[in-house]
Amino acid sequence: MPAVGRLIRLTFRPEWDPRGAGRGLFSSDARVRTLVRVLLSYPEVRYVLPDRVSLETGSTPPLLETIARYLDRQTWLVRRVTVS
């Protein structure tokens, strides 16, 4: 059975919500593209989807907390960040 990675799920502000008119982390907005590049610079990040970031199974709790806090500070984009 393959190992399941850790997930950081995002709840977006309505204008950015991928279930609505927004595209979440797949937005073409320069700020979002820069944010995704920063996320992908972490070697533990496996992939990014419009509403979540997947990390390697062995990602440490401090790293998860650091990324979650960074995303939570993006108040122009995100309403809530959940680590699972």
Q: List, for residues 14-50, the tens digit of each pLDDT value.
A: 999 998 888 999 999 999 999 999 999 999 999 999 9
Angle made by CA atoms 20, 23, 24, in degrees to the nearest 5: 100
Q: Is residue 74 a part of any domain in this protein? A: yes
Q: Is residue 43 a part of any domain in this protein? A: yes
Domain that holds residue 40: 6-83
Question: Length of the chain in residues, anyone?
Answer: 84
* SS3 label, residue 77: coil
pTM for the full model?
0.88
Q: Is residue 1 a part of any domain in this protein? A: no
The total number of structural domains that make up the chain:
1
Q: Given this model, what pLDDT does residue 4 score?
A: 64
Q: Is residue 38 a part of any domain in this protein? A: yes
Non-local (6+) Cβ contacts of 84 within 8 A are 6, 7, 8, 9
Express as a percent the part of the chain with pLDDT over 70. 95
CA 37/CA 19 separation, integer angstroms: 22
